[in-house]
């Protein structure tokens, strides 16, 4: 098993060795045509300059659950990244 690979919730596989930075979570209200639909997201920035946006859309009343879900995803990734760097 390749310990360098990490699978994101959308099933995309990334290499931990290529991560430069894991950005902070932000509430990005980018759905301007629907004020009730928003998204929490964070960026993964890679050494080659590529940026992946990991997001969790939510309706206004469900923002807490969406935030908690994405925060767990981000924390799991940070934990895997830190463990990989220790090796």
Tell me the pLDDT tens digit for each residue of 63-73: 899 999 999 99
Q: Reply yes or no on whether the pLDDT at 17 is more than 80.
A: yes
Q: Which residues contact 44 (CB under 8 A, 6 or more apart)?
A: 14, 19, 21, 22, 23, 51, 52, 54, 77
CB 38 within 8 A of CB 57: yes
Lowest mean pLDDT among 33-37, 44-48, 64-68: 33-37
The string of pLDDT tens digits covering residues 72-86 is 999 999 999 999 998
Q: Quote the CA–CA distance of 18 and 36 in Å, as a whole number.
A: 36
Q: Quote the CA–CA distance of 55 and 38 in Å, as a whole number.
A: 10
- What value does the mean pLDDT take over residues 2-28? 93
């Amino acid at each position: 098993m390749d310990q360098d690979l990490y699978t994101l919730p959308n099933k995309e596989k990334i290499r931990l060795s290529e991560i430069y930075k894991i950005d902070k979570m932000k509430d990005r209200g980018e759905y301007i045509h629907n004020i009730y639909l928003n998204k929490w997201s964070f960026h993964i920035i890679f050494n080659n300059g590529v940026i992946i946006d990991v997001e969790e859309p939510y309706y206004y009343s469900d923002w807490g659950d969406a935030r908690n879900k994405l925060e767990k995803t981000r924390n799991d990734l940070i934990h895997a990244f830190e463990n990989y760097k220790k090796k």
